[in-house]
Structure 1
């Protein structure tokens, strides 16, 4: 990666800001009807923002074996549970992806029994307690609303991926089958067959896609979710490289890979040529450039390429690599001296018109730090993979 600072120096800056992100926090606190105040910006709250951050830290630990990243993860869980936990919803399920990874990698961890108990409790809630839409979709229940009959694209990262990983770790294949179904259902109702991109949401009440927003960060969850999910399946089989044979034997894998490639094709078209970033409405060059989504696109594309989901023989591989590297370079250029990922948009509810997305405020957020961290770590992993391959 062309930059003055090393990847590890950038990682250290991003993590520092992740843990020390109090700038203007009061403005962005989430006050609930029961009097609770949820801090989505700082490090001591419990929201999807922290779940994404925890997994970014896990990816760093997994690659570097840096014990400090692992300690941050386990300390966060211990502290939040000591405070009494929180309400179960789609977004608060997100942290358990990182915890499932800890349990899997460290079977002799001194807190394993306790951690398994937490995983079991939350996964059983997702399977049996979470509200469902028509056709059995995971309804996008949050702190503030049940969002009756609504599917949102970020559900795949926030709840479906943790459920799948817990299914692998606890050997519960019915969790995996549920995750497979949720992916197919979300593809059916949220993917835009015209562009290959994804709409932010779907409502069975009235059967519509709200503003039909091709929103950047919502799309980046898909770029991440598909290779992460299929990568889990590979790792469970003891494999490190994708095989076209799996697509021949598994219709879901074939569907998800083709869906991902359709999205990547369009992303190559709409990327800002001068910065490598993406507009917050992907098909609207008048909307502002947004860094967290760009980081997600870079990380997801680099992961898919590293796992060989786009084989070297595919002529599209080169343009995908170019897009991902330009995006990563753009993300690095947005990292401030204090570690803030600039041009990160605030958490975004469902918009009923496109102008709603154009007006989302920009502010440092945990998921911005984490997605940038994830992108840089994927870049590091790709470089190591390339070096290993060239030395054979």
Structure 2
């Protein structure tokens, strides 16, 4: 494979440090791949917003939420935890498990934050941690947070989960992020604690989100839907929002272990395949995808690309996607790995992105290292490790 010079441009027109595509996954041994995974973890747990420039103020203009630094509780860290858990599952590395345990111990001592769609994200990893350790103290947290999603969170028309965040209520809005941040944890807790009503609710949430967020023209997903004005906001086919779906569907199907002829499984598989067929069409020569998937003038974005690579490769491995898509996933993963710097920091990751009223909003989101960039890259690297088994 010839080396490619990949140049990425930030939303303000300033070129980021170019990355020369010289790392080829086919040349990496299992030990080298695992070393890369551990380097990603080390950088993840040391992430900090030293300048404070990425802290997001609450609507009252007071306290600012730090979603970039590791020792805080938001969806960004929640995805980070899950990336580490998946690595622990395949390696049994106790240092990785220690990072997870330490994070929860620190947060529980500090006190849990306000419950919302995004702050639910760490509960997915906590459910796996409880299953692994049997630590009874974890169970009460799982029950409390799952009950909030079942009965306490605001609902939209047709009883969709309203995407309420720490900043705003987002009245009558569905976002594609919700499936990853709240619905997967609810399903896992339902299976783990034998609460079938949680699992059934998770199934219904997948269906209602598909009903209102899938773009029938492309098979890709819109970022959000409002029942108040009944539209898709800026009609953005946003990369990372789509990647949550590419991750969530294989995770959900693996969790439920539905038979191959189960109608929900067939429906979710076809939904995933339609999306991935479109992703194949829009994949750039570098292997990455643009932050607006169908807009080649928007910047190439690494966290979405990592999520796509992971979901595609896992979907192929588990038989949810046809074998023809393996090459798409591997090409994407190679592009992602070549955006990891020498310190193990994943570059060219877009900052946390609320709902945009137009497509220009997404083009202007700043690029920085984030916990989910580390974690989504870690997920895709772990999927590569599975190919050695």
**Scaled by the length of structure 2, what TM-score is found?**
0.91
Contact 2:287 2:335 in 1 (8 A): yes
User: What are the within-5 Å matches in structure 2 for residues 132-147 of structure 1?
Assistant: 132-147=155-170
Corresponding position: 1:2 with 2:8: no
SS of residue paired to 1:380: helix
Residues 359 and 68 (structure 1), Cα distance of their counterparts in 2 relative to 1, 3 Å cut: same
Q: 2:64 aligns with which of 30, 37, 40?
A: 37
Matched, 1:256 2:247: no
Shift of residue 12, structure 1, vs aligned partner: 1.8
Superposed counterparts of 1:172-211, under 5 Å? 172-211=195-234
Q: Residue 65 in 1 paired to residue 92 in 2?
A: yes
What's the secondary structure of 2:309's corresponding residue? helix
Aligned to 1:281: 292
Q: Give unpaired runs (5+ residues) of structure 1.
A: 238-245, 311-315, 385-392
1:361 to 354, 366, 387: 366
* 1:242 alignment partner in structure 2: none
1:306 and 2:317 correspond? yes
CA shift digits 1:175-212 (9 cap, x unpaired): 00000000000000001110000000000011000011
Query: Normalized against structure 1, the TM-score is what?
Result: 0.90
Q: Is the 8 A contact 2:340 2:347 kept in 1?
A: yes
What is the CA–CA distance in structure 2 between the aligned matches of 1:26 and 1:105, rounded to whole Å?
Answer: 36
Match of 2:38 in 1: 12
Aligned partners of 1:91, 1:381: CA distance in 2, in Å? 29
Q: 2:82 aligns with which of 51, 55, 61?
A: 55
**Counterpart residue number, 2:16:** none
CA distance in 1, matches of 2:111, 2:65: 14
SS in 1 for 2:108: helix
CA contact (8 A) 1:190 1:201 kept: yes
Distance change in 2, residues 1:9/1:362 (3 Å):
same
Q: 1:332-347 maps to which residues of 2 (within 5 A)?
A: 332-347=337-352
TM-aligned CA distance change 1:3 to 1:338, over 3 Å: farther
How far residue 348 of structure 1 moved from its aligned partner, in angstroms, is 0.4
Offset, 1:382: 3.0
Helix, strand or coil: the match of 1:226?
Answer: helix
1:145 counterpart SS class: coil
Q: Do 2:130 and 2:136's aligned partners in 1 also have CA atoms closer than 8 Å?
A: no
Q: Distance in 2 between matches of 1:59 and 1:25?
A: 31
1:374 to 350, 356, 379: 379
**After the TM superposition, which of the residue ranges 180-189 and 78-87 deviates more from structure 2?**
78-87
Equivalence for 1:330: 335
**1:317 paired residue number:** 323
Bigger mean CA offset, 6-15 vs 278-287: 6-15
Q: Offset of 1:4 from its aligned partner?
A: 5.4
CA–CA separation in structure 1 for the residues paired with 2:61 and 2:361 = 27
- Tell me if structure 2 keeps the 8 A contact 1:197–1:214: yes
Query: Which runs of 4 or more aligned residues in structure 1 lie more than 4 Å from their structure 2 counterparts after TM superposition?
Result: none
Corresponding residue for residue 175 of structure 2: 152
Q: Distance in 1 between matches of 2:49 and 2:78?
A: 20
Deviations 1:99-119 (A, max 9, x none): 101122333xxxx21100100
For residue 31 of structure 1, report the CA deviation from its aligned partner. Answer: 2.5
The answer to whether the 8 A contact 1:151-1:201 is kept is yes
| SS of residue matched to 1:202 | strand
Aligned-residue CA RMSD (Å)? 1.3
Contact 1:302 1:382 in 2 (8 A): no
Is the Cα contact below 8 Å between 2:47 and 2:69 reproduced in 1? yes
Q: Secondary structure at the match of 1:117?
A: helix
**In 1, distance between residues paired with 2:177 and 2:40?**
23
What do the CA deviations read for 1:238-297 (whole angstroms, capped 9, x no partner)? xxxxxxxx242x221111000000011010010002x10000000001110000000000
